Amino acid sequence: MIEQISLRRYIYSLIKKAEIGERASRIYDYFISAVAIISIIPLMFKETNALFDAIYLVTVYILFADYIMRWMTADYFADDNSHSPWAFVKYPIRPLAILDLVSLLPSLGLLHHGWRILRMMRIFKILPYSKTFSYILNVFSKQRKTLLSVLCIAVAYIFISALAMFSYEPDTFDSFFGALYWATTALTTVGYGDVYPITDFGKLISMVSSLFGIAVIALPAGIVTAGFVDEIQADVDREAHLEAELKEAKAEKEAEIKAAEEAQNEN
């Protein structure tokens, strides 16, 4: 039992996201990310060959082994670090675990070959190892209330402007959904030009929507950018603190070794 626990602990230390000084774990991070990217290369070609078949087979086995290892060590990945057996039950329904499994199902023969497009989802495998993705998640998590408020304002304005255009431009829009489509493209300043107002009032609404859209797009962009910069600075400070601790621990260990050698020489 002790050997089994130590083996699982070693597997966890290898497959978890690497921290400073964890060389083996960092190598594995690069390796599994490269495997995930290589596994989707055959999807870029219409015809297959022996090389693509080999890539397909090898990468599937590696990614499936990674999924199994993560399930085996699910209690170590638990947020509360309680090593509860429930961690093994909860792991398959975690978002990233679902993405991993769904991307493998067509290759494992559990889904029809027509679903092979799901293999594209393997690209999400590299997200947990990306610092940029972690920064973005943290920003959205910390600013979710503000961003949700901006989203509500945008949705409300889209609905109101679409309703106004549908009322004053009945010949332009065949349905309310068409008006919603126009309002969305106008608010985001995309404006494909396939649908446009013909009355003066409709053109006025279009101009206001475009101007309001610039503000609505710029507001969350500023919030996310500021939060992104803060996350980068916080990560730099954290790494600097960890490096300082490692250097201090190394210096203390060298001092202890030197003191022990001096004491041995005196004796």
Report pLDDT for 3: 45
Report helix, strand or coil for 144.
helix
* Same structural domain, 108 and 172: no
The confidence score (pLDDT) of residue 112 equals: 65
Domain annotation covers residue 28: yes
The reply to whether the predicted model has a pTM over 0.75 is no
Domain co-membership, 33 together with 125: yes
What number is the average pLDDT over the span 23-37?
Answer: 87
Query: Where does a domain end: 62, 94, 129?
Result: 129
Which domain does 124 fall in, by range? 2-129
Q: How many angstroms separate the CA atoms of 95 and 108, rounded?
A: 20
| Highest mean pLDDT of the ranges 12-16, 75-79, 80-84 | 12-16
Do 149 and 250 have their domain in common? yes
pLDDT tens for each residue of 112-167: 666 667 777 787 778 777 777 778 888 888 888 888 888 888 888 888 888 888 88
| Closest CA relative to residue 150, chosen from 231, 205, 221 | 221
Number of domains in the chain: 2
Q: Has residue 134 been placed in a domain?
A: no
The reply to whether 135 falls in a domain is no
Residues 231 and 118 in one domain: no
Q: Is residue 46 predicted with pLDDT exceeding 70?
A: yes
Q: Supply the pLDDT for residue 80.
A: 60
* Most confident of the ranges 108-122, 223-237, 243-257: 223-237
Instruction: Kindly state the average pLDDT of the residues 87-107.
Output: 82
Q: Would residue 31 count as lying in a domain?
A: yes
Q: Write down which residue in 75, 99, 129 finishes a domain.
A: 129
Q: At residue 2, does pLDDT exceed 50? A: no
213 and 246 both lie in a single domain? yes
Q: Which of 136, 106, 110 is nearest to 40 (CA)?
A: 106
Each residue's pLDDT tens digit, 173-183: 888 888 888 88
| Residue 137 belongs to a domain | no
Look at residue 81 in the predicted model and tell me its pLDDT. Answer: 60
Provide the 8-state DSSP code for 22: -
Does residue 61 lie within any of the structural domains? yes
Q: What is the reported pLDDT for 208?
A: 83
CA dist 28 and 17 (Å) reads: 9
